[in-house]
Amino acid sequence: MFFLALTGKATREERGMLSNRIGIYFFMMAMVTLYAGSFVLSFFGISIDVLRVAGGLVLFSTGWLALNAPTSSDDDSTEAQKVKTTHSRTDLLKMAFYPFTLPLTLGPGSIAVATAIGTAMPFTVANVTAASLAALANALIVWLCFRYADRISDRLGPSGTDAVGRIFSFILVCLGVQIFWTGFSELWVALMTSLPK
């Protein structure tokens, strides 16, 4: 539903192109996170809690924008809608990586789990094959969910889709706050324990 809320004016073809890119980006990011996540984070000096704070802020921002997006009835004219649709295809494809892949689909929690698995996993052929196949299976599930999300939109109708989109946008705002708070709380505890008594 987040996908539908953020792609309200997109056509089925545009959503299909977007879902293809999201599936590919998801798989690539999952593989990088599994096998190089801890290295990348340590290279830049980023902790998991900082990742959570940043990811929470991004989710909050994305959810807020979707929550306050104009409805289809707010369009003034057909010509204006054509111009908006022409520009939105390029904008939609740009959104495939951010925010749809990162942080909506592969968020801070998923990155933390995948990094932990990659760090603790013995690098045998069986383990690497199994982890890679699991990442591919998840990418296919993500692709299927995004590819056929518009079927739900067709059944709900324009007003129902808008209502559900607003509800899930609000949930996205709440998720952003929760992820931010989890990371911030851990950082605050670490700060308090590091202060001299």
pLDDT digits (tens, 9 = 90+) for 64-90: 887 887 765 554 444 334 434 444 677
Is the pTM higher than 0.75? no
pLDDT digits (tens, 9 = 90+) for 168-191: 889 888 988 988 898 899 899 998
Q: Where are the domains of the chain?
A: 2-194
pLDDT digits (tens, 9 = 90+) for 96-112: 888 888 878 887 767 87
Q: What is the pLDDT of residue 2?
A: 66
Using CA atoms of 181, 184, 185, 187 in order, give the dihedral in degrees to the nearest 10.
Answer: 160
pLDDT, average across residues 132-157: 86
pLDDT, average across residues 49-62: 82
pLDDT at 46 over 50: yes
Which candidate, 134, 68, 145, places its Cα nearest to that of 104? 145
Q: Is 81 left (phi over 0), alpha (psi -120 to 50) or beta?
A: alpha
Mean pLDDT estimate for the chain: 81
Q: What is the pLDDT of residue 83?
A: 36
Angstrom CA distances, 190 to 44, 49, 53, 59, stand at 19, 10, 14, 24
